[in-house]
Structure 1
Amino acid sequence: MPKNVAHARFERYSLIAQQFGARTVMFQQAAARLLDLNVTQLECLQLIRHLGPITASDLAREIGITQASMSVVVGRLIERRLVSRNRSSDDKRRRLLQLTEGTAAFVDAVYDRHVARMKAIIDAITETELDSALSFMQILEKEMRTTAIEMNKSAGDMGNDPLF
């Protein structure tokens, strides 16, 4: 592929990706505000839901913040009774975070209108289009996770712990 074609393709991607990223941040901030949470707390709830039960240290590593910062986030989620910390049945030294009963429904309620609109969009595209979009999103998710962890480590190396 000629260099100018590859550059043009990347530029097309870059513009949409920047717009999508900005809208995603604004979307998550709005959702967090409705739940009286900050974005980090909301994202932790989502990760615990999808990856959990999980230790606080594994969750901190997953999002790239220090264990001290994660301790503050988890403490607030436990105070709100959105998360519980229980001993692992496999290893009594490990304490696992999991959502408390009702937390998933509490969070999901904020997204009801968005989910309805997304279902309509998905119904309007072909299975091939959906498969392509989802495949690309999975690739992007892995790349963004890696980059976010690297960036948070660099920020931590400079003494800037990203607690929000």
Structure 2
Amino acid sequence: MSAEASADDRRRKRRLAVSVRESMRELSIQLALLNHQVGQRLDMRDVDLDCLDLISRHGPLGASALARLAGLHPATMTGVLDRLEKGGWIVRERSPEDRRAIVVRAAKERGAEIYQLYSGMNGSMEELLGGYSETELSVIADFLARARDAGVTATDELARD
């Protein structure tokens, strides 16, 4: 391969990498806007919806563990949990492991409301992903997991500063 062809390959790869990063930023904005619309429909703050998602995926959780996952101050988390409980989105209960501890879990009966609001996006994603081969989906899943890990690292670094 000539030096000129190699330089062209590097330029194309750089342009593609820039395109991927720009698309990730645009996707991040679109997902934030979608989540904001869902939150408005449910009369819920963005941070409350984020915490409810964490509880749904990782719960039941103690308030301190949730605060760490969400990157929030424990006092802020108390307000979030109070609003979510008042809205019927979570339930506070005794931990089965330590009866003195309180954990929160998502209220199952409210999940259908959220699922319905995300049904358009979920349907679009099913259709989109259906167009990829198993090998391509594996590459996409790997990329997204690595991108998430990079985000966790960057967030942790900023939190330490």
TM-score by length of 1: 0.83
Give the C-alpha shift of residue 9 in structure 1: 5.0
Q: How many equivalent pairs are there?
A: 153
Q: How high is the TM-score relative to the length of structure 2?
A: 0.84
Q: Kindly provide the amino acid, as one letter, of the partner of residue 82 in structure 1.
A: W
Q: Could you say what secondary structure the match of 2:118 adopts?
A: helix
Given the alignment of the two structures, is residue 51 of structure 1 paired with residue 68 of structure 2, yes or no? no
SS at match of 2:108: coil
Rounded Cα–Cα distance in structure 1 between residues aligned with 2:17 and 2:124 = 29
* Root-mean-square deviation over aligned CA pairs: 2.1
Q: Secondary structure at the match of 1:37?
A: coil
Hey, what does 1:20 align to over in structure 2?
A: 27
Percentage of pairs with the same residue = 23
Looking at structure 2, the residues matched to 153 and 109 of structure 1 have their Cα atoms a distance apart, in angstroms, of: 38
**Which structure has the bigger radius of gyration?**
2
In the alignment, which residue of structure 2 is the partner of 1:160? none
Q: Kindly indicate whether structure 1 or structure 2 has the higher relative contact order, using CA contacts under 8 Å at least 6 residues apart.
A: 1
Distance 2:78 2:25 in 1: 31
Q: How does 1:8-87 map to 2 (within 5 A)?
A: 8-87=15-94
Gaps of 5+ in 1: 155-164
Amino acid at match of 1:53: P
Gaps of 5+ in 2: 1-5
Per-residue CA shift, 1:15-45, capped at 9, x if unaligned? 1222122112112111111211111111111
Q: Which amino acid aligns with 1:29?
A: H
**How far 1:64 sits from its partner (Å)?**
0.6
Letter in 2 for 1:37: M
